[in-house]
Amino acid sequence: MKKYLPVLFSICILLGLIIGAEAWLRALYESARQYRPPLHGDTLPAEPLTLPKTAKVVIVLLSGLGDEDFQSFDLPVIEQLAQTGVSSTIQSAPPTYSQTARMTLITGASPELNGAAPIDLPFEAMAVPETDSIFARAHEAHLKTALLGLADWRGLVPREDLDETFLVESSGPEADQTILNVALPLLKEDQVDLLLIQFTGLDFAASQQGGTSSDAYRAAAIRLDNYIGQISRIMNLDTSVLVILSDRGHISSGGSGGAEIEVAQQPLVMNGYGLTSGQYSVIAQTDIAPTVAMLLGLPAPHQAQGRILFEMLNLSLEHQTLAQIALTRQRLTLAERYLASIQGPEAHLPDSLFTDIEQAANNLAENNINGALQLALLTQKSADAAMAAARHNVIQGARWPRFLAAVVLAFSWFFVLWRRRNAHAGLILIATVVTLALYHILFQLQGHSYSISAFELAAMPFDVARRMGVSFLAGGALVLLFLMLIDERNWLTLLSTGYGYSLLTVFVLALPLFWAFVQNGLVINGYLPSVNLMFWQVTSLLEILVAAIIGLIIPWPIMALNVFVNFVRRHLSDSQSKSGRDPLPGLR
């Protein structure tokens, strides 16, 4: 019985890896779907703000338009609006999926705090975030709001924050035309103070019709440029502001979600009343909501983490200072609650920051306007830095125990492999290298990049399974041929060699997972991990799952084929001795 233990042990390990990888993948997906930010459900007080408001703000959201593609297109209407108005580039923080990006645009909060799941979900699976937005701010100020776009907005903005809505169930050119037909009469009535119009034709063309290099994508951009021309002609830009932007871009194949520049940067064009024309440097996606709120004379949303784009606004220094003091107070409240949420109720901001903002208010009252503005700006930056430092410390503190656990597990696994090595250890190593090299060669030949943007999440498991199946069979064939050539006849040694190959391959596939575990933990909890590391965590789990399944099976065909060849060789050995020739040349 003892001689069978190595094989039984290998089978048990592979079965455990299959069960563990599958459970980990499910838990990881569920944690993304159910992600709640540290301040989930925490109601923050709004700072009162009394400033002149623009008569109307119209936001046109061109979903799926990256800045690189925008710069390459000939879009005469948008180009004219940019030349006579404001233009810039928006930098978004990954994950760059549509729903979380849209939440950042209307809340000013990063994906980690805006309340949306970090992955796109069907509307039925969405829970409306308890996060303040520009629609909530406008509604509380008795301004009329409206939203036209995809149906999943129902899972992002509470219906009570909107006076009018028109939502479509699908994306594409027909949906865009329908939305335009609803938007034009609404604009002509001139009764809505804050209107968001989402067009999805670019998103549809990129993801469904061949990517950003396709004719369909370019045609969608030209069509939407024409739509914006119709919208701008109806609007009175002497008393209102037209904001044209996007939620995210796409890589050339049509994917999104990662940190690539073509995905994470989007265009911004504004035209209308109260703006200082010009081309500006890169801004953050979190800056949009505080700036729109400023145009409407409203305080920034509770969880806003961006700044007001004063350089783009034609405001007096006094009005800038009033707005900045209100924004700084909002940021101090946010930072104080955030620190208490992640570090415990005993964590607080330095008292000096609250003293500084009161001093800024006093400076304004004493007509030291510039001094008040600078002090308020400095205080806001200090609050932002305190939030970033607290987040870093909490994350780093949790990584050290995981690092020790990962090191112990990795060395234990390697020690078992080393102790169980047999005379064919060199063969096992070569077959593993061939398997992994072929896997990544196939990955490159398919045109993939090592990014979450390169995959459709639903199709990703099947894509990994096909590549891993081909690669594992190639490595297994190498093991089989070598064992035939050396005339290995012990069936236990054959099985042991096959399982050694399987376990070493899975071990190497698990190495990125160990590092991702150290950095991210088992699941998403309390903060959003790096999307680059999340790519390796998800793909490693899928690779381990598939490799363990194949590795559980493949030693048996290797053993059976070797036994069969040996049987044939023995059966024909008598005829060889009689005839004097080798029946199976090259296999001895």
Q: Which residue has the higher pLDDT, 568 or 64?
A: 64
- pLDDT, tens digit, for every residue of 229-245? 999 999 999 999 999 99
Of the candidate ranges 173-177, 264-268, 333-337, 449-453, the one whose mean pLDDT is the lowest: 449-453
Query: Average pLDDT over the chain, rounded to whole?
Result: 90
pLDDT at position 585 is 58
pLDDT band at 462 (very low <50, low <70, confident <90, very high): confident
Answer whether residue 292 shows pLDDT above 80. Answer: yes
Q: Is the pLDDT of residue 54 over 80?
A: no
* pLDDT the model gives residue 559: 75
> What is d(CA 584, CA 588) in angstroms, rounded to the nearest whole number?
8
pLDDT at 164 over 90: yes
Q: Check whether 204 has a pLDDT greater than 80.
A: yes
pLDDT band at 47 (very low <50, low <70, confident <90, very high): low
Element (H, E) at 176: helix 173-189
In the chain, % of residues over pLDDT 90: 71
Query: Which helix (H) or strand (E) is 241 found in, with range?
Result: strand 240-245
Band of residue 128 on the pLDDT scale cut at 50, 70, 90 = confident
Query: Are 84 and 279 spatial neighbours (Cβ–Cβ below 8 Å)?
Result: no
135-156 residue pLDDT tens = 999 999 999 999 999 999 999 9
More confident residue, 22 or 3: 22
**What does 43-55 look like in DSSP terms, one character per residue?**
--PPPP------S
**What's the rounded Cα separation, in Å, for the pair 387 and 179?**
40
Rounded to whole angstroms, the Cα distance separating 432 from 414 reads 14
- Identify the pLDDT of residue 446: 84
Q: What is the DSSP letter of 157?
A: S
Domain ranges for the chain:
2-34+420-569, 56-314
The whole-number pLDDT of residue 510 equals 95
- CA dist., res. 82 & res. 88, Å (int): 9
Report residue 455's pLDDT band, with 50, 70 and 90 as the boundaries: confident
Tokens representing 181 are 């037909």
- The band of 45, judged by pLDDT with boundaries at 50, 70 and 90, is low
What is the spatial distance between Cα 50 and Cα 326, in angstroms, rounded to a whole number? 10
Mean pLDDT over 475-504 rounds to 80
**Per-residue pLDDT at 578:** 55
Look-up of token digits 């993801």: 207
Give the integer Cα–Cα distance in Å for 133 and 108.
8
> CA 476, CA 468: separation in Å to the nearest integer?
12
Query: Which residues lie across from 266 on neighbouring strands?
Result: 90
| Band (577; pLDDT cuts 50, 70, 90) | low
Q: How high is the pLDDT of residue 477?
A: 85
Q: Which two tokens stand for residue 350?
A: 């330095």
Categorize the per-residue pLDDT at 249 as very low, low, confident or very high, splitting at 50, 70 and 90: very high
**H or E element at residue 59:** strand 56-62
Burial class (CB in 10 A: 0-12, 13-18, 19+), 251: buried
290 vs 436: CA distance, rounded Å: 49
DSSP 443-511: HHHTT--SSGGG--TTTHHHHHHHHHHHHHHHHHHHHHHHHHHTT---HHHHHHHHHHHHHHHHHHHHH
Mean pLDDT of the region 324-349: 94
CB 45 within 8 A of CB 333: yes
pLDDT digits (tens, 9 = 90+) for 514-548: 999 999 999 999 899 988 899 999 999 999 999 99
462: tokens are: 């099947």
Three-class secondary structure of residue 554 per DSSP: coil
Q: What is the pLDDT of residues 497-518, one digit of tens each?
A: 888 889 999 999 999 999 999 9
Find where tokens 């891993």 sit.
468
Q: Work out the end-to-end distance of the chain between its first and last CA atoms, rounded to an integer number of angstroms.
A: 31
Is 76's pLDDT higher than 80?
A: yes
- pLDDT category of residue 569 using cuts at 50, 70 and 90: low
> Top-level CATH class of 56-314?
alpha beta
**298-to-59, 224, 324 alpha-carbon distances in Å:** 16, 30, 12
CB 288 within 8 A of CB 109: no
Query: Is-contact 145 158, C-beta < 8 A?
Result: no
What secondary structure letter does DSSP report for 243? E
Task: Tell me what pLDDT residue 212 has.
Answer: 93
Q: What residues have CB less than 8 Å from 222, skipping those under 6 apart?
A: 73, 74, 75
Q: Is the pLDDT of residue 311 over 60?
A: yes
Mean pLDDT of 192-219: 95
| pLDDT at 495 (0 to 100) | 80
- Average pLDDT value for residue range 277-285: 97
Length of the chain: 588
pLDDT > 70 fraction of the chain, expressed in percent and rounded: 93
pLDDT of the residue at 417: 86
Among residues 347, 306, 341, the alpha carbon closest in space to that of 324 is found at: 306
Per-residue pLDDT, 580: 56
SS (H, E, C) 258-321: CCCHHHHEEEEEEEECCECCEECCCEEHHHHHHHHHHHCCCCCCCCCCCCCCHHHECCCHHHHH
CA 501 to chain centroid, in Å, comes to: 35
Q: Residue 193: pLDDT above 90? A: yes
Q: Residue 571 and residue 579: Cα distance in Å, rounded? A: 14
Q: Give the pLDDT score at 365.
A: 93
Token pair of 56 as six digits? 């109307």
pLDDT band at 575 (very low <50, low <70, confident <90, very high): low
Helix (H, G, I), strand (E, B) or coil at 378: helix
Q: Taking a C-beta distance cutoff of 8 angstroms, is the pair 69, 221 a contact?
A: yes
- Give 202's pLDDT tier (boundaries 50, 70, 90): very high
Over residues 429-449, the mean pLDDT reads: 91
Better pLDDT: 103 or 5: 103
Containing H/E element for 199? strand 194-199
Residues 165 and 216 sit within 8 Å (Cβ to Cβ): no
> Which two structure tokens, joined as six digits, stand for 267?
């265009």
* Whole-number Å distance between alpha carbons of 473 and 344: 53
Q: Are the CB atoms for 308 and 327 separated by under 8 Å? A: yes
Contact 230, 186 (CB under 8 A): no
115-143 as b/e: b if 16+ CB within 10 A? bbbbbbbeeeebeebebbbbbbbbbebeb
Mean pLDDT of 99-127: 93
Q: Which two tokens stand for residue 277?
A: 């024309």
Higher pLDDT, 421 or 522: 522
* Structure-block tokens of residue 6: 């190595």
CA angle, residues 176, 181, 183, in degrees to nearest 5: 90
Q: What 3-state DSSP class applies to 257?
A: strand
Q: By CB neighbour count within 10 A (0-12 exposed, 13-18 middle, 19+ buried), where does 588 fall?
A: exposed
Pairwise CA distance, residues 569 & 486, whole Å: 13
